[in-house]
Amino acid sequence: MQDQVDESRLKIGTSGIFRDVNPPMATLSKLLILGFVLIGVFAPEAMGKFFSNVQTWINANLNWYYILSIAIFIAFVVGLIFSRFGSIRLGKDEDRPEFTTFAWFSMLFGAGMGIGLLFWSVAEPMYHVQNAPFLEEGTANSMEGAVTAMQVTFLHWGLHGWAVYVIVGMALAYFAYRKGLPLTIRASLYPILGDRIYGPWGHTADLLAIFGTVFGVATTLGLGAGQIQAGLNHLFGVPMDPWIKYLLIMAISAIATLSAVSGVGRGIKILSETNMWLSIFLIVVFIIVGPTVFLLGFFITNVGEYIVNVIPMGLWVNPDPESGWQGAWTVFYWGWWIAWAPFVGMFIARVSRGRTIREFAVGVLIVPTLITFFWMAIFGGTALHQEFVQDGGIIAAVNEDIARPLFLIMDNFGLGIFGSFLSFVALILIITYFVTSSDSGTLVVTTLISMGKEEPPVTYRVFWGFGEGAVAAVLLASGGLGALQTASLAAGLPFSIIMFIMMWGLIRALKEEPMVQRPLRDAATPEPEGGRPKPGPEGIAPAE
């Protein structure tokens, strides 16, 4: 039994460039990022071709795997909510949550959603209403197809994705705060690997998490930079030259690095709460000045339709091998969620100490999903209403430039100077979400390198803060949006295997909990002389 991590097992450096980090992890992770950036700089065409080949192969062979994996993940989480393990606390029995409920929801929502909501809430339903495979015949490009388009959007942003975060975040928080293991991906593998988590197997698991985090965050940074540039062009006439997008990535990465250096309790917490209040402001304005009755009814209708259709839509695999829709949308999203899982999961774990498994699972699975649905229904519903009732030109704008339609919607309100003010608020919100995603990712990567230390070395936070921006810039230069999508798919694939092992390890550990074992022992025969085998950290049965 132990109450704290055994520092001697973590092999943390005590001086020089490896002070407060694990030397193999620090070295290998830096080589990973530097190698990728150098290849992207000196051979962008070759890298672009590589990404294209990877995406083609995944779409041709692994669509079924992504669909099945996500379905298993959500079934696992729902099972935990209703299981006898639900009352187990993510921490010691006497631990209680560090952050208020509002601050907790703000941080997990900001890290888990971020720019994606602002980028896709308008664009995605406008794409699906044109050509989604679930549209009934004759309903494309019409208000009759609007509900179907929003259903597909809900599928991609709902329970399936948040279940991925629940699994990773819960496993990390459980093993770190209840079992005294380091706050790293490797800790969740202890019931399977035992003390081997401190060696090459553990390094591999954490490096895969770093790989997923960097490319998942880079995808978001690339998308966000495009929307920030579109907002600056819309408001201030800033040109749409590619080099400006790269400058934006580096500038925002610098701000995010400063936030990451300040830590979770200050910069990240303040930014997350700012994001939430600005989001609430925009939502309220859209409801008041938009088609209020239509939007509220649209939200209720789509929640009901989602409950009815989520299982068949979530298990649908496109039988047409020539169709690229599912690979470009659903499979891309599932890979993106999984790639983000180590980053968001670890961040959520860090802010969730003291909550019970049931409270954590319900809080992370249900509440953000409902908030996301409301956001999507209001913003996407406004876009659909403007397109098909007011002839607002939203579809044409989406097809021309995916980053611009959000600002066009606010122009269509006809509010004059207040409309420009709304666009400015939206731009600020995009930037703060951009910063929140980047600084959270930086903190997670450096936490892995430092083997779970809550305050990783500042120099490494600076390096990785700019490193994530460099990866985003390289991806944009070597293939644009397609390269960003492929990076998420490729990063999510190996980590999905780690997630299955995490689930296995978590269940093995939960079955050894005293509150679970006690009723079984009371009904069983007395233990043989000598007692039970000596447990591992904090009562975990050692791997066999």
Q: Is the pLDDT of residue 312 over 70?
A: yes
Q: Is the pLDDT of residue 484 over 90?
A: no
Distant-in-sequence, close-in-space partners of 109: CB < 8 Å, separation ≥ 6: 272, 275, 276, 368, 371
Confidence of residue 69 (pLDDT cuts 50, 70, 90): very high
Q: Which of 210-224, 267-281, 398-412, 466-480 tops mean pLDDT?
A: 398-412
Tokens of residue 452, six digits: 């779970």
Q: Mean pLDDT across the chain, nearest whole number?
A: 84
- Burial code of 84-116, b = ≥16 C-beta within 10 A, e = fewer? ebeebbbbeeeeebbbeeebbbbbbbbbbbbbb
Q: Are 145 and 125 in contact (CB under 8 A)?
A: no
Interior CA angle at 123 toward 122 and 124, to 5°? 100
d(CA 150, CA 99): 34
Please report, rounded to a whole number, the percentage of residues in the chain having pLDDT higher than 90: 33
Query: Which of 270, 240, 279 lies closest to 401 in space, CA to CA?
Result: 240
> For residue 228, what pLDDT is reported?
85
Query: Which of 310, 331, 438 lies closest to 373 in space, CA to CA?
Result: 310
Q: Is the pLDDT of residue 68 over 90?
A: yes
DSSP label at residue 182: -
Q: Which amino acid is at 448?
A: L
Hey, what domains does the chain have and what are their CATH numbers?
Answer: 8-40+70-518 (1.20.1740.10)
pLDDT in tens, 321-338: 677 889 889 998 898 889
- Name the residue with higher pLDDT: 534 or 236: 236
Distant-in-sequence, close-in-space partners of 359: CB < 8 Å, separation ≥ 6: none
Mean pLDDT confidence for 460-478: 82
Confidence of residue 480 (pLDDT cuts 50, 70, 90): low
Q: Which residue has the tokens 């988590």?
A: 197
Q: Are 209 and 498 in contact (CB under 8 A)?
A: yes
pLDDT in tens, 190-221: 999 888 898 899 999 999 888 888 877 777 77
Mean pLDDT confidence for 148-157: 95
Tokens of residue 493, six digits: 């694939």
pLDDT in tens, 241-296: 888 888 888 888 888 787 777 755 555 667 777 877 888 899 999 999 999 999 99
d(CA 409, CA 387): 10
d(CA 77, CA 306): 18
Please report, rounded to a whole number, the percentage of residues in the chain having pLDDT higher than 70: 88
Distant-in-sequence, close-in-space partners of 252: CB < 8 Å, separation ≥ 6: 221, 224, 225, 228, 431, 434, 435, 438, 469
Q: Are 178 and 164 in contact (CB under 8 A)?
A: no
Length reported for the chain: 544
DSSP label at residue 526: P
Q: Is the pLDDT of residue 343 over 90?
A: no
Confidence of residue 320 (pLDDT cuts 50, 70, 90): confident
Q: Which residue has the tokens 């390890």?
A: 505
Q: Is the pLDDT of residue 380 over 60?
A: yes
> For residue 1, what pLDDT is reported?
35
Say whether 89 sits in a helix, a strand or coil: strand
Q: Are 54 and 331 in contact (CB under 8 A)?
A: no
Q: Is the pLDDT of residue 2 over 50?
A: no
For CA atoms 91, 96, 101, 106, the dihedral sign is negative
Other Cβ atoms less than 10 A from the Cβ of 326: the count is 18
Other Cβ atoms less than 10 A from the Cβ of 241: the count is 11
Q: DSSP letters of 479-501?
A: HHHHHHHHHHHHHHHHHHHHHHH
Q: Is the pLDDT of residue 96 over 80?
A: yes
- Burial code of 466-484, b = ≥16 C-beta within 10 A, e = fewer? bbbbbbbbbbbbbbeeebb
Confidence of residue 530 (pLDDT cuts 50, 70, 90): low
pLDDT in tens, 110-120: 666 666 777 78
